[in-house]
Amino acid sequence: MRPKFFCLFLILIVLISNSFAQDSTRVAPSQSEIKVIASLTKQEVPLNRTVTFNINIEWIGDLDNYEISEVENPELRNLKITQTSSADRRESVDGKLKAVKTFSFELQPEELGMGYIDGVIIKYIDKASGNGKHLITNRLQVKVIDPLPEPGSRNWIYNMIFLMLLASLLVLGIYFMWKKRQEKKQKLAEQQSIVPLEKLFLEDLKQNIPLNDPELNMSDSYTKISSMFRHYLSEKYGFHATNEIKEEIIKQLQQNGLSESLILSASEILDKCDVVKFSGGGGERSELERVYTLLEGFIESNLKSVVSVTEKDSDIS
């Protein structure tokens, strides 16, 4: 009985071993799902930019469960490949290990319109079973739109605008400086073209009182000197001196800031003329010559001041 019992024991062990082997094969990674996802990073791409075409191959299990053949370049229309890359990574999903292989293609558009990427065949081998299979990605499309401005491509435009504005400001500045200078020149010319008041009165003095005339009327000459002097003071200093008394005239001249010497000259001129006027006489010729000289000196002193101011304005402009 013992040999029979031993044989039955051996048969039982073999059956149990076969049972465990069948279970291991059934749950092997070769029975896990493998998935391929093809995608574009964007649906529209400017003509002067690129778009990336990604192929992700995923399955639950270790990276060594499948042997992925090298992915061939996709068939393209209106696109060209500028760069390729690949990567492997592992992720944990719901407590299970997930393997991901990624193939990336950087694509450059060739012209406006639509770009197309035909389906890519992914070949792989299940290492556990040794079976080879393949999957095909979907056909994708991308719209090629107008190019974007390149960084710095418009700098020359901005620089040109800046230079034009700068040139305009410079021209305007030069124009206003020139205009201001012309206005100063014109003003100076106008000032120079206007005969000073002093020159007019000096001319009148020489014409109306010819001292070299032996038949010169003395009384009439004093009257003319008095009238001319008062008229000059009225126009020069802006007060009515025609019928004012001497004291009031001297007061006005002091308020106008005249020097002491000019005030003394004015006082003597008025005194001499009033004496002859109220005495009814003709006066002495020597006295007339002195009054004439005082009046001439008074006016010439003011004329020098006018010329000096004009020259200063000319130097400034």
pLDDT tens string for the chain (317 positions)? 455 555 555 555 544 444 333 332 233 334 458 889 999 999 999 999 999 999 999 988 887 888 888 888 999 999 999 999 999 888 887 888 888 989 999 999 999 999 999 999 999 888 888 888 889 999 999 999 999 887 766 666 777 788 889 999 999 999 988 888 888 777 765 655 577 888 988 999 999 999 888 888 888 999 999 999 999 999 999 898 888 898 999 999 999 999 999 999 999 999 998 888 888 777 788 898 999 999 999 999 888 877 665 655 555 55
Check if the beta carbon of residue 263 is closer than 8 Å to that of residue 253.
yes
- Ordered by start, the domain boundaries in the chain are 29-145, 159-194, 197-316
Fold of 197-316: Four Helix Bundle (Hemerythrin (Met), subunit A) (1.20.120)
- How far does CA 113 lie from the centroid of its chain? 39
Interior CA angle at 304 toward 300 and 305, to 5°? 120
Check if the beta carbon of residue 33 is closer than 8 Å to that of residue 60.
yes
Terminal-to-terminal C-alpha distance of the chain: 145
Q: Looking at residue 193, what is its pLDDT? A: 59
Helix, strand or coil, per DSSP, at residue 74: coil
The answer to whether 29-145 and 197-316 have equal CATH topology is: no
Helix, strand or coil, per DSSP, at residue 152: coil
157, amino acid identity? I
Domain 29-145 has CATH 2.60.40: yes
Instruction: Report the candidate in 46, 31, 34, 35 with the shortest Cα–Cα distance to residue 138.
Output: 35
Residue spans of alpha helices (H) in 27-105: none
